[in-house]
Amino acid sequence: MLRLRIFALWIAALCFAAAAHAGTDGQLTLAADLRADAETARKQAIPILLFYSLKGCPYCEVIRASHLLPMQREAATTKPRVIIRQVNLQDPATLRDFAGRATTHREYSQAQKISFAPVVTLVDGEGRALAEPLKGAMLPDFYGAHLDDAIAQATAALKSTRK
């Protein structure tokens, strides 16, 4: 019975994500130059949120559409809480890492020991973790609270290192 309820919640969340996706371009900013993002993050004193995703992953789409895209849109009109970048686990697209080295999304994911999706990490300008990563999709009703808690933890960790 519990499995049926969880399944029904995920179906509802997927429907919500599809509806949300229809009204947007559905794209997060892809990671391209993490060293440049780190400089911006340092200047603004905010963490970097890395969203590790897989093409065709329905759980990734739910998180992207219901949480991360709204945050990205909000950041365009207000002071952002985080810099959001998507890293595609299997993508051979080029990426400059925090040290300025050329790599690919796939190689960077492997170097970070990320082997499944979705995973959200919050890091500082050196790429160091500021909070526990959010692994998997969890229950949709609680994901936003977990994400907000992780962002608050990461922001507090940044502030404590700046003193």
Distances (CA, A) of 33 to 26, 27, 67, 160: 21, 17, 23, 26
Distance CA 146, CA 132 (A): 10
Of 3-12, 23-32, 47-56, 111-120, least confident by mean pLDDT is 3-12
For the chain, give the percent of residues with pLDDT over 90.
77
Domain extent at residue 63: 2-162
| pLDDT at residue number 163 | 62
Q: pLDDT at position 1, please?
A: 57
| H/E run at residue 48 | strand 48-53
The average confidence (pLDDT) of the chain is 87
Span 69-91, mean pLDDT? 95
Q: Picking from 1-5, 64-68, 112-116, which range would have the lowest pLDDT averaged per residue?
A: 1-5
Domains of the chain: total: 1
